[in-house]
Amino acid sequence: MADSTCALPGLDPAPADSVAASRVAGYEIEDELRAAPSGRGRPIRIAGVDEVGRGAWAGPVVVCAAVTDLSPPPVLQGRGKRVIGLTDSKLLTEDHRESFAEVLPGWLAGHAVAASGPEEIDEVGMTEALRRAAVRALESLPVPPDVVILDGKHDFLSRPWRVRCEVKADQRSVTVAAASVLAKVHRDRLMAELDGVHPGYGFADSAGYPSPTHQKALEEFGPTPHHRMSWSYLDDLPRWRHLKKHRDPMAGEGQLSLL
């Protein structure tokens, strides 16, 4: 957690036993942040940030930053009288994600999506690539947020952003859940387009993540321009292992060599 959290009460994560059992996101975290005195003389502006694509072999890592007006979030009508609430994109079906992605932009007070591509990931490493994508998204919002809610334990943003990290924030924070859905849908659509350009790798189904189809195509055809060439999957591909890129730890971040 960055030192800047001390300047804004409410940034410490909630105790583990206080996490709600419900998987439908609410305003639990946002309400805690709003209740803490900010000294700004106006309501605090909160952005939720989530990413997708961190563990993929191919494609970009995509980050969405979202801001709500704290109004009730949209819901979907399921079978019978069932109501589908906004939550972590991984807990929603593809159809539900697509439906939420259609209505969320009109409901949110602001949102922005940004990415770091394979070349940037290879050049600077995933942590820095993720930070860059998140900063791009945050800086593209209509108004800069006062605090950012990140899903997970680690603050990959740090200064000058005031950050609150929360495990399963995408199941507890409407703001992060919205970012989760929009990032996931954006990246899935992008990978589906790449599937048409590079058929056989299963990009439309696996979105660039490991799968038997993906592994088989790599063994036969090798990596595409959209693959991450510093990733360890290349160690298991004798025909293509020579293409792997290596960052030189002695040369500093961003230095690449072919070994």
> How confident is the model at residue 6, as a pLDDT?
34
Residue 85, pLDDT above cutoff 60: yes
The pLDDT of 134-150, averaged and rounded, is 96
With a cut of 60, say whether residue 77 has pLDDT above it: yes
Q: How far apart are CA 143 and CA 45, in angstroms?
A: 9
Q: Quick check: 33 pLDDT over 60?
A: yes
- Evaluate whether 10 touches 36 at the Cβ level (below 8 Å): yes
> What is the C-alpha separation between 73 and 134, in angstroms, rounded?
23
Q: Which residues contact residue 116 at a Cβ distance below 8 angstroms, ignoring those fewer than 6 apart?
A: 60, 61, 129, 130, 132, 133
Residue 114 has pLDDT above 80, yes or no: yes
Q: What are phi and psi of 179, to 5 degrees?
A: -65, -40
Helix (H, G, I), strand (E, B) or coil at 95: helix
Q: Which pLDDT band, with edges at 50, 70 and 90, does 37 fall under?
A: confident
Which strands form 163-166's sheet, in the order they lie side by side?
110-116, 61-67, 46-52, 147-151, 163-166
Where do the DSSP E strands lie in the chain? 46-52, 61-67, 76-77, 83-84, 110-116, 147-151, 163-166, 245-247, 256-258
Fold of 28-35+42-197: Nucleotidyltransferase; domain 5 (3.30.420)
Is residue 181 a contact partner of residue 73, using CB atoms and an 8 Å limit? no
Q: What is the pLDDT of residues 144-199, one digit of tens each?
A: 999 999 999 999 998 899 999 999 999 999 999 999 999 999 999 999 999 999 99
Q: pLDDT confidence of 15, banded at 50, 70, 90?
A: very low
Best CA proximity match to 232, nearest among 210, 204, 251: 210
Q: Whole-prediction pTM value?
A: 0.87
Known binding residue 151? Answer is yes
248 among annotated binding-site residues: no
pLDDT, residue 244, reads: 96
> What pLDDT shows up at residue 80?
82
Helix axes 28-35, 174-197, angle to 10 degrees: 130
Cβ neighbours of residue 11 closer than 8 Å, sequence gap 6 or more: 1, 5, 33, 36, 147, 162, 163, 164
What ranges do the domains of the chain cover?
28-35+42-197
Calculate mean pLDDT across residues 235-245.
96
pLDDT at residue 147, rounded to an integer: 96
Q: Among residues of the chain, what percentage have pLDDT more than 90?
A: 79
12 is annotated as contributing to ligand binding:
no
Average pLDDT taken over every residue of the chain: 88
pLDDT at 58: 98
Query: Highest mean pLDDT: which of 3-17, 56-70, 235-249?
Result: 56-70
Instruction: Return all residues near 119 (Cβ < 8 A) that are at least 6 apart.
Output: none
Calpha distance 172→155 (Å, rounded): 18
20 pLDDT above the threshold of 50: no
Q: Please give the angle made by the CA atoms of 6, 11 and 12, to the nearest 5 degrees.
A: 95
User: Poorest-confidence range of 18-27, 178-187, 213-222?
Assistant: 18-27
Residue 121 contacts residue 202 (beta carbons within 8 Å) = no
Phi, psi of 220 (to 5 degrees): -85, -45
For residue 257, pLDDT over 80 is answered with: no
